Amino acid sequence: MAAACLVLWLGAFGVASEQATSSDRPNIVLMFPDNLGWGEVNVYGGVRGAITPRLDRLAAEGLRLNNFNVEFSCTVSRAALMTGRYAVRTGASQAAGMTLWEVTIAEALQSSGYATGLFGKWHLGGDRPENRNPSQQGFDEYYGVPRTSNESITTIAQGQTAPNTSFIWEGRSGASPRNVKPFDVDARRTVDRESVDKSVAFMERSVRDKKPFFVYYPMTQIHFPTLTHPDFVGKTGAGDIADAMAEVDSNVGRMLDAIDRLGVSRNTIVFWCADNGAEGRRPWRGSSGPWSGFYNSVMEGGIRTPCLVRWPGRIPAGRVTNELVHEIDFFPTIAAAVGADLVPHDRAIDGVNQLPFFEGKQAASSRESVLLYANAQLRAVKWHDWKLHYVYAPEAGGPAVAPLMRLFNLLSDPKEETDIKDANPWVQSVTDRIVREFTATTTRYPHVPPSAPDPYVPPKM
């Protein structure tokens, strides 16, 4: 199927803007909060009150995706987002990150003359991120957390300071990372504010230098420990997660205000989406809204996250859709918006160009199906509103539960409660074909082995 197959070529798409000449390329701002479920955002039916006015406004100004899909956990989600490839192809793992052979959105845009900056959570370098840091994957500069938020309450608390993992770091192209300060619980509270400040400064410099920019702002909120900036402690009266969501919303507003103030709104594509579904750990358990499950599972609560996309004058405002989209689609979509053939041709690319769909030039998504892996094992396939679990494991990180194969229709049964496989046996023939088509591509393009070292050289087939 076209949606599940490779993207081997992207044609050029012209870009026009009321504020830019026809030769200008759009800026890209990608905001990527951590472990944020549906029930945290007001326009998605937020359960903690109307605490996200800037996100609500962003939704009104652009496109709201109600069937946006991601990978099941932090590192693999970032690998998929950055490469346009299902993470199983990249060999990405939390222990090892991903090889430098992978081509990221940042590398592609940097090669096309973009200024590229990452401010926030990296989590693609594995146990020794200094050997796989953002400057080696296309970012001109970066600041933030090498790995993940929970290190603020474990590594430092235990008195263990492994190199570059329990510090906030920064770096630039051609230089090694520099540790800025310990990543303890106080730094955990302020890192998102610091990252948005640096993102805004980066945009200001890029506009001054008349250079198109790519800003990747992977927030640390609302991953546990969900400890918010001091300015937001107790702000909502609804607990830590609500306070953290108010901070997320405020930081989104600061980014959008900066884009407006710099006069580049109509020539800037803004993406806001979460890497995984809601946190399941108490006391910082998030809300999955109408879905079952949490992140670290392929239940809808783990892999269906909020996603908003804005491009004034190009993407119609206020549109809402339930069509399938996956985070791997961003790479080819951005390439199409830039008007350049940026997607690599020497490997399998699973993402599809969604620009015509986003712009309203076609009614349906360019994607009909999504493959859902966990720990490199195929767990489920979504096809339109059908979802067939090949290995049903409803608990985050938990064991499989018999019967392993279960079928749900997500429109009539959003919580995945009633198995209708026996009444609809034909669905498996469709999902089996999708899996076969994907598997066939691995003959020409074998998966990168998990924990493969650098330099990685793919086998000649």
SS3 64: strand
CATH 3.40.50.1450 fits 372-444, yes or no: no
Q: What is the pTM of this model?
A: 0.93
The structure tokens listed for 358 are 């986003």
Beta bridge partners of 380: 372, 389
Beta bridge partners of 307: 65, 273
User: Do residues 217 and 255 lie in contact, with contact meaning Cβ atoms separated by under 8 Å?
Assistant: yes
Query: What pLDDT score was predicted for residue 8?
Result: 31
Those residues with Cβ within 8 angstroms of residue 344's Cβ, 6 or more apart along the chain or in another chain: 103, 108
Looking at domain 27-369, its CATH superfamily turns out to be Alkaline Phosphatase, subunit A (3.40.720.10)
- Residue of 123, 223, 229, 389 with catalytic role: 123
- Residue of 5, 74, 223, 389 with catalytic role: 74
How many angstroms from the chain centroid is the CA of residue 278? 14
Strand segments (E) across 124-205: 141-145, 167-172, 178-182
The amino acid sitting at 356 is: P
Question: Count of CB atoms within 10 A of residue 219's CB?
Answer: 28
Query: What pLDDT score was predicted for residue 127?
Result: 80
Peptide bond into 403 cis (omega under 30): yes
* Rounded Cα gap, residues 346 and 5, in angstroms: 14
Would residue 74 show up in a list of annotated catalytic residues for this protein?
A: yes
Query: What pLDDT score was predicted for residue 24?
Result: 81
User: Assign residue 404 a region: left if phi > 0, alpha if psi is -120 to 50, beta otherwise?
Assistant: alpha
Query: What pLDDT score was predicted for residue 20?
Result: 35
Nearest to 101 by CA among 132, 62, 66: 132
Residues of the chain with CATH 3.30.1120.10: 372-444
Query: What pLDDT score was predicted for residue 14?
Result: 31
Residues of the chain with CATH 3.40.720.10: 27-369
User: Assign residue 17 a region: left if phi > 0, alpha if psi is -120 to 50, beta otherwise?
Assistant: beta
Type and span of the H or E element at 257: helix 240-261
* DSSP for residue 453: P
The structure tokens listed for 57 are 């406004």
Query: What pLDDT score was predicted for residue 89?
Result: 98
Those residues with Cβ within 8 angstroms of residue 460's Cβ, 6 or more apart along the chain or in another chain: none
Task: Compute the Cα dihedral for 416, 418, 422, 425 and give only its sign.
Answer: negative
Beta bridge partners of 403: none
The structure tokens listed for 338 are 């830039």
Strand pairing report for 406-409 and 386-389: antiparallel
- 10-residue mean pLDDT profile of the chain (461 residues): values are 37 32 78 96 94 98 98 97 98 93 98 98 88 96 94 66 71 92 92 98 98 98 96 96 97 98 98 96 94 96 98 98 98 97 97 98 97 96 98 93 96 98 98 98 96 93 73
